[in-house]
Chains A and B, each alone.
Chain A
Amino acid sequence: MKKDIRFTSANFKEEVLESKIPVLVDFWASWCVPCKMTEPVIEELANELKGKIKIGKLNVDQNPKIASEFNIGGVPTFILFKEGKVVKRETGARSKQQLLEMIKEAGISI
């Protein structure tokens, strides 16, 4: 995983909650096969939407406090944040198209 899309307990407040642009967080685990298969899509989107929306991943095993705070019960879970607030969440593998739709449905123009 590329370092620039890794969210952790240490940077979550600054990178996600205080971000000036919307943020899509992929809550994942290394034992979760659907999470691993979604990884290339997340990396692609992160590059394509750079500047418009920040996209990154948070490992639930390494950051259980945040996982618990957002009541993550299954992975992958995608949560879309806007101005520090949760505006949309979905659980389960998603195609690139489905993630783009999720972003659009949240009223975020890309």
Chain B
Amino acid sequence: MHNSNCTCWNCPAIDLKGKVDFRACGQSTTEFGKKKDETSEVYIMAECKRRPELGLFDPMSITFEDCPQWQKTPYGYLLKDMRVMILGIDGYLGWTLALWLGSLGCRVSGVDNYNRRKWVKERGSHTVIPISSMTERLHSAKEVLGIEIDFREIDILNEKERLKEFIDEVKPEAIVHYAECPSAPFSMIDVDHAIEVQKNNVLGTLGLLFIMRDVVPETSLLKLGTMGEYGTPLTGRPIFEGMFPADAVLHWDGREWSLGGELTPRDPVSFYHVSKVQDTFNVYEACKYWWLRSYDIMQGVIFGVHTDQVSADPRLRTRLDIDEWFGTIINRFVAQAIVGIPLTLYGRGNQIRGFIALRDAMECMTRLIACPPEPGQYAVVNQISGVYSLRQLAYLVAQIGRKYFDLDVQVQRVENPRVEADEHPFEALYEKLPKNYGFTPKVNIAKEIYRMFELLSKPQIRERIEEKKHLIIPKTWWSGVKREVKRLELLDLKEEVKEDEERYKIYQR
């Protein structure tokens, strides 16, 4: 198990007590009083909230493997009945994770203000996979999977007191923060949307950090970032996992320094991505000032529709958006293929990105929840399972649609409404999750795309795609222009095959 050797130093179920005078962390200043052994030289002691009978002890003396509260699961030791709160539980990821964790025995709670539903509706679109109201979702989760979810409708930005009360009541041992607007184009519509995205994301997260400081400083925060924070450095240097390793050395003026631990440069490509970068700094500082502990999860482009739980019953399905603002690229490609729109590549179409399937993302999150950071630790992981060029993916989707679903799928290049490099090197490192957390990708990308075709071809869903297909081709330009992009070229798929085979060799790690 990847977390066998973690100790109470990592565990959110302990209170740290003792004298911490090395730096003013503000968390562990409780005096031992009479309990302290005067001859002891261990200054920070643990007191277990789950096993108070242990009294005060050295926090590094008990491992997860030895503690009866940490129990084996396929994804590492997990705290028995671990209390996990999901912010943004009604979303594509939030709902899926709620059911996933519930099925592992976690006590799941969550909040949402239905912003995602409102934003998609505002753009005139809808989720092509129908989802029910939260009341019905909760009822179905109980009826089908036996999972009880403690839900509150709370706006984390504007109802901080209510959020604080709920967190204080539940005392979650991990908080997963998905309650952000995840769309670059949505943030580029106009000034009001840019401000809304930045306010919601940056200030919502900032408020949460203060609440955690005051109420649950020992709880681990799993905050969703994005690989898009890094941009695509044209030097071709590796995209590290948040910070430089110690062996990255800066040479200048005949001298050299290790860059170990410094945050790597960020180069966001939309006001949404800027909000994520700002979050990174806010979370990083909060860990430093208050000894909060956090994973900043730089997730790649997500795709897919399947986990065992959401597929267990139509009422448990998670949402799937295909519009230009909220549809991620593979999800959008499959929808286009089904209703006969040529798959759209922006500009040259040679952008390269990291990707991860929905199911694999859930496993990664669980492995991280199972291995909380140490007090004050700000850690970063690049959560991707493969790297592909967008052309390569368009070709793959087209091939599956043609071969197995008898669809005449075309691929087109259109004007690029974004300001981004559409031909660039890309070497993303994503070694921590496999090396340190025992993750190996389980989802074969072609199989998941096949599964998406199966689901999205169903008459009811196909009809819902047809209704909103006019919202797939982008009209939101980074320049502020509002017009539909024009086609540049319809690609010859036979030639694409050859090129993709070459690219695949280069970029597949």
Contacts and interface: CB of A to CB of B under 8 A. Distances in A.
Interface in A1-57: 2-3, 6, 8-10, 29-38, 40-41
A40 B246 contact: yes
A99 to B, nearest CB: 9
A97 to B, nearest CB: 8
A96 B246 CA distance: 7
23 contacts: A8-B41, A8-B42, A29-B376, A31-B374, A31-B377, A33-B262, A33-B378, A36-B379, A41-B260, A61-B22, A61-B375, A62-B44, A63-B43, A64-B21, A64-B22, A65-B43, A93-B246, A93-B259, A93-B260, A94-B246, A94-B260, A95-B246, A98-B249
- Residue of B41, B263, B284, B373 with highest tally of chain A CB at under 10 A: B41
A60 interface: yes
Given A62-B60, A92-B258, A94-B258, A41 B246 contact: yes
B20 A61 contact: yes
Interface string A70-110: 00000000000000000000001111111000000000000
B263 to A, nearest CB: 8
Given A6-B60, A30-B376, A31-B377, A62 B42 contact: yes
Interface in B1-40: 5, 9, 19-23, 25
Contacts of A98: 249, 256, 258
Interface string B255-276: 0111111110000000000000
A33 B374 CA distance: 11
Interface of B: 5, 9, 19-23, 25, 41-44, 59-60, 243-249, 256-263, 284, 287-288, 291, 373-379
A37 B243 CA distance: 8
- Residue of A3, A65, A98 with highest tally of chain B CB at under 10 A: A98
Given A6-B60, A37-B244, A30 B375 contact: yes
A30 B246 contact: no
B260 A37 contact: yes
Contacts of A3: 5
B21 A37 contact: no
B278 to A, nearest CB: 18
Given A41-B247, A62-B60, A34 B262 contact: yes
A36 B258 contact: no
Contacts of B256: 98
Given A30-B9, A61-B23, A64-B20, 9 more contacts: A2-B5, A29-B23, A32-B376, A62-B59, A62-B60, A63-B43, A64-B43, A67-B22, A94-B246
Interface of A: 2-3, 6, 8-10, 29-38, 40-41, 60-65, 67, 92-98
Contacts of A29: 22-23, 376
A18 B508 CA distance: 51
Given A93-B246, A94-B246, A32 B261 contact: yes
A35 B261 contact: yes
A61 B44 contact: yes
A48 B305 CA distance: 47
A38 B20 contact: no
Contacts of A8: 41-42
Contacts of B22: 29, 60-61, 64, 67
A8 B198 CA distance: 45
A3 B249 CA distance: 29
A101 B260 CA distance: 17
Given A95-B249, A96-B246, A65 B258 contact: no
Contacts of B291: 31
- Residue of B256, B257, B258 with highest tally of chain A CB at under 10 A: B258
A85 B374 CA distance: 31
Contacts of A10: 41-42
A10 to B, nearest CB: 7
A98 B258 CA distance: 8
Contacts of B263: 33
Nearest to A8: B42
Contacts of A32: 261, 376
A34 B376 contact: no
A40 B375 contact: no
A98 B284 CA distance: 27
A26 to B, nearest CB: 11
A22 B215 CA distance: 45
A76 to B, nearest CB: 9
- Residue of B9, B44, B260 with highest tally of chain A CB at under 10 A: B260
Contacts of B5: 2-3
Nearest to B256: A98
A7 to B, nearest CB: 12
Contact of B246 (A9, A37, A63): A37
